[in-house]
A and B are shown apart, each in its own frame.
Chain A
Amino acid sequence: MATQATSPVKSPAFPFRLRFERRVEVPPPWLGPAVSVGAIVIALLLGAVVLRLVGGDPWAAYRHIARAAFGDIGVFSDTLVKATPLILTGLACSVAFRMKLWNIGAEGQFFAGALAASAVVLAPYVPAGAPGWIAIPAAAVAALIPPTAPGWIIIPAMLVAGMLGGALWGFIPGWLKAKLRVNEIITTLMMNYIVIALVNFFVFGVWSEGGFQMSRTFQKAAWLPRLADFATQVKAFRGLTTHLGLVFGVIAAVIVWYILYRSRWGYEIRLIGDNPRAADYAGINITRNTVLVLMTSGALAGLAGMSEIAGVVHRLQTSISPGYGFSGIIIAWLAKLNPLVVVPVSILFGGLILAGREIQPSGVPRLIQGIILFMLIASEVLMHYRVRLVRAGAEE
C-alpha cells in the first residue's frame, strides 16, 4: 500500500519524526552485510544492557562467551562439533525455503536419518522374537554388512542410509503437497512426532541395551574419524573431537550453493520460489520439483542425523538432538538462504550454544540469541526502505 511511503511516527512531544521511504533503486551490494553486522552490534549492546540490569558485568560475560566458544583450539573444536549438524540442517531448510516450501520437519528428517544410519550398524542385533517386518530386512542388511565390516564399507553405507532415511521423510510431505496440495507446514511438523515415536520404539524395544533407553555402542568401525584419532601423528590434535561430519557439512554447502546458483535445476528452484506461475509458464515441472526439493532437504537433514550419531553419540538413543532441526530454520534465515553463509552462521550459533551452557543452562544466553535473531530479522526493513529523520511539521 502506498501509505507506507510516508508513515510518520507521531509523537508531538518530540521535535523529530522518522520517515520511511521505499527504496526506488537497487541497494548497493555492501548494504546487506553492513546492515547485518550493524544489527548484531546493536543486539549485543542491548544484551549488555540486559546483563547490566540483572546485575552482571556485560563485558566480562561477553569475554567469557567468546573464550568459552572460540578461546582456544580445544573449545573451538567443540564449537565445530556443535556447528556440524547445524550446518546440515541449515542447508536443508535453505534449499526448501528457496522454493518457498516451508519444511519445518528437519528435526524429524534428522531423526529419520539417524535411525536409518543406526539400522545399518544395529541390524545384526535384532532380538530373536522380533516380528518379520523387522527381522527379515535386518537379516538381509546384516548379511551384506556384517559387524566385522571395515569402516570404509560401513561408514559410506551409513551415509547413504541416513540420507535415504531423511529423503523418505521429506518425500512423504513432498508427494502429498505435489499431488494433493496438502500444506507441507502441517505434514512436515507431524512427521516429526511420528519419527520420534518410531525411534522410541526401537530404542525402548528392539535395540534396547539391557532395558535402558539406548542401543548398544556402535563398534569402532562405525565411528566417524575424529581429529583426536590422529593424535599419534599430529600432536596438536590430541583431545580434539571435531569429526568427519564437518567435512560433510562444508562439502554439502559448496554443492548446494553450486546447485542453486550455477545449475539449471537451481535456476528452476529459484524461479518456482519467486513466482510459481511464471515457472509454470516457462515449462518447469513444479510437481516433480516439489517432491525432489523436499527429498533433497530431507536428505541433508538426514545426513545431519547420521553425522551426529556416527560422529558424536555412537549409539541410537532418544536424546540425540536439542532441536538441531528447528535451529536449522533460524540459521537458514540468518544466512538469508545462502548456503555458503550457512557455514559461518552455524559456527557462531554453535559457539553460542556451547558458551551459553558454560554461563547458565538457560536464560541469558538464550535471551541474547533471541535478541540477535530479532535484530537481524528487523534489520531487513532497511534493505527495502531508507529511514530519514525529519523535523516534525517541517516542509521537507
Chain B
Amino acid sequence: MAKIEIIIQVEDTPGGTAAVLSKAWVYWRSGGSTTVLRTDETGRLFTVRSGADRTRPWEYIGVFTAETSSQVDIYFSRGAKPIPDARLAENPTVFYTRKVPDKPAAGSMTAPVALNQTNSIAPKPAGVIVIPNYRILLTKPTELSLWPLLWELHNETYFTDGLSQGAALIGAGGVPTLVENGPAPAAAAAERPKERGLAVEGSIDARATGLRIRILDAAGNAVQLRQNAAATAGVLEVPGALKPAAGGLKPFTAIVYLLNTPPVLGPVQIFVLSDGVTPPLIEAFAVQLVGLQAALVNDADANPNGTAAGAVSGAALEKIMVDFEDSPQSTANALAAEGRARRMISYQMYNRDRALSATVATLVLKPEMPLWMGEFHALGLNRARLEDLMIRRKRQLATAPKTIKLNLPWRITTSWDGPDSGTGSPRLYRYSQIFSGAQEITFTLNPNDQLDNVNAQGEVEKAVTPVPAAMTFPVTGRRLPKLFITGKQRAWGRLAGAAAVDAALIEWQPQIADSAGAEILRGGDGILQVDSIQVDGARIDGGMLVTAGGPAPPPAADPDLRLPVFRILGLNPPSPADAVIDALVEEYFNRNNGLARVTLLTLACWQETIRRILAHEAGHQFEHRGSHRSRYAGQYYGLEQDMPIFGPPHGYGYGQHDDPPVTSDGAWSFFENIKESVRRVMADKATGAYSMVNAHMPAAVDQRTRAVYQREIVRRYNGGTEFQWNGTDWEISPGLQQWAEPADHSKGASDRLVYPNQVLGTGVVYSNGVGAATTFPWPIAFPAAQYGPGT
C-alpha cells in the first residue's frame, strides 16, 4: 500500500472553511492501537523521536505516513502535554472516523537554487484530513505555570481552642490553672487551617451544557478530590459552573479540593470533560502544582553559633502560653477575665559572653535573639521538575521565557502589650515593630537546557537578589541563607506526621536590627509572613476560601503566607548579674572620669551602689515566677511569664525603668536595661544629687559627704529627695509623700520611705507607730552608722 504524509485541518462548522490544526496533539487510532502524534504549524503530523519523552512536543520530529485510503479514528487536543492514554481509552467516543486520502493534496513551494550543482527538492506533499474543531481554554491557572496551593491563615480560635480561658484560666489566686510552657494539646481539626481550594477558570465550546474537572497526576491517573471544602470522602471529579455563552464559548469556573495532597504535588494535568456535546470533548492542561508555605527555624537549636540549620517546628511543639489581653483592670475578676492561654511555638532568647562594646573588649554576658532562618517552601518542586517546566515554557510559550522570577516580600512583626498598656490606663509600654526584607529569585535555564548555577549540594547560586550578606551579630560564622532546588524535603503543613516531599527551599535570614542595622532585641508575639508573592511580576492566585457567603478569594490585603503567632521568650542572666553591672559601671566610670560627680565616689562604691539598686529594683529582666497578678493603687496588673518583669505602676526590667518610660531596648535586653540604669544613676540622678551636695562640699571630701551623695542618689532613683542642709550639716528630710495614701492615714507610712534602707542595708527610722497613729520624726539625723557601703 502507498503511504502519504498527513496534514490535519479543522472546521468550525461541517463543510465550512477549514483551518490548519497548528501545534496540537493528534491521537491516531488505527488497527486497535492509538498513536500520539503532533502537528507542526502547517498541520503536518510528526511522530515522536525514538526513545524521547512523548509528552514533549519538540521531540515530534519523525516523518509520519499513513496508508492511503485506510480508515482511522482521530481526536486532537491543544494542551501543553498530550491527554494520557488511559484517559483517551476511557473516552472512546471522542474520536472522529476518517479515511486517509488516496493521494496528496496539491501544493506549492518556492526554492532558491544554484546553477551547475545539484539542488535537492522535496515538497513532501501530504494528504489532508479535516475534522471538527472545538475549543476548551484554560485561563486560571495558565498552562505551564506554577499552580500554587496555599493554606488558610490561622484563625484566632486556633490558638485558644480547647484551652481554658478567662476566669477558668486565671484561678482565684491570680495564677494560671494550666501549666505554662507545658505541651499544648492539639487543636481540634475544625480549628486547624485547611488547604485552600484551587481555582480553575476557563471557557468551553458553547455547545457544552456542563463540564467536569479531574486532576491527573504525573502518571495520568485521576487523583482523589473532595466535592467541597467540608467533604472528607474522595471523588474523582468535580463539576464546573458554566456562565452564559459569548463568542461561541461559555466561561466556566471550578474549585478543586484535594483529598491527599502530598503525593499530588508536582506536575499535574487539569482534565476537562464536557457534558451535553456529542461526541464529547476532552482536554488536558499541564501545570506544576506547588504547595507553598513558610517556616521558621532556629539555628541555635542545632548549634549555638548558627552554622547549621535548625529543625522546622511543627504543631507538635506548641506550648501553652499565658498572657493578659487588657491589663490593668480595676478588679481581680476583671483581670482574670482577660487571661488568655494560647498554643504557640516559643523561641527563647540566648545569652552569650561577648565584648562589652566595640571599644571595650571585656567579655560580659549579653542577650541575643534566636538565630532564625525563614524558609519558603515550594513543595513538589525539585530540579528535574523545574527544569522540565522551564524547558517546556521556553519551547512552548509564545514569549519563550528562559527564566522564572519569584518575588518574596518577607516580614517578621514582633509586638507586646505590657501590663500597663491596657485600654483603661495611659497605655504606656506597648510596641509593634516590623523587620522586613524582600528577595527576588531568578531561576535561569542555560543554553543546555539546565538550571543555571546549581552546585553539587543542590544549591542554586547567584539566584537571589540582594545577595545575602553575612550577619555580623550576635556571632560571626552564621550560615548564609541559600536556595536549594534539590536534596531537600519538607512536610506539607505543620501537623505531626505530615508527609514530606521534595521541595524547593528558599531561605531568608531575618535581621532583627534597628534602622542603622545595629542589633536589637525584641520579644513578645512574633509573626512571620510573606505578603504578596509574585511569579514573573504577577501576584500568585490565592485560591479560594470558605466564607459565610460561599467560596471566595482571599482579601487582597491578606498575606499569602503567614505562620501562626509565636512567642519570643526572654532569658534572664544568672542572678545576680553583678559581672555585667560592674563592667557597665566601670565602662561609664572610665569614660567620664573627668566629671566630679563621677569621681566623687570610687569605682568600687559606684559598683556596690548600683548592684544594690538593681538587685532591689527587680534583680531580673524577665518575669520568672510564672504569670500572676500584682495589685497597686487599686489596679490589678497581669504579669506574664518570660516577658519583661514589671513593677506597678510602670517599672520594667532590671532597673524598673518608669520615668522616663522604658524603651523597647530596655524592655527586651537586660544588657541595655542595666546600661541605661547605670546612666540614669551616674548621670541623671547623680547630676541632681551632686548639685545639691556640691553646694556644701567641704574642702576635703570626707566619707560623710560621700555617704550623703550616695544616699541622695539612691533616694532619687526611686523618686524624691533625701537630704536637706540645715545651715551647718546634712540631715534626712525626704522630699516625698509621707503617707501611703494621703487621704487615708489608716494605711500608715509610705513604703517608699524606707527605700534607701532597703537598697543600702541601713536602718534609718523614717516613721514610728502604725496606721493613723504613725508619726514622722523628721528631720532625721544621719550618723556614721547609717553610711552606705563602699563610701
Are A and B a genuine interacting pair, yes or no?
no
Q: Which residues of A contact B (CB under 8 A)?
A: none
Q: Which residues of B contact A (CB under 8 A)?
A: none
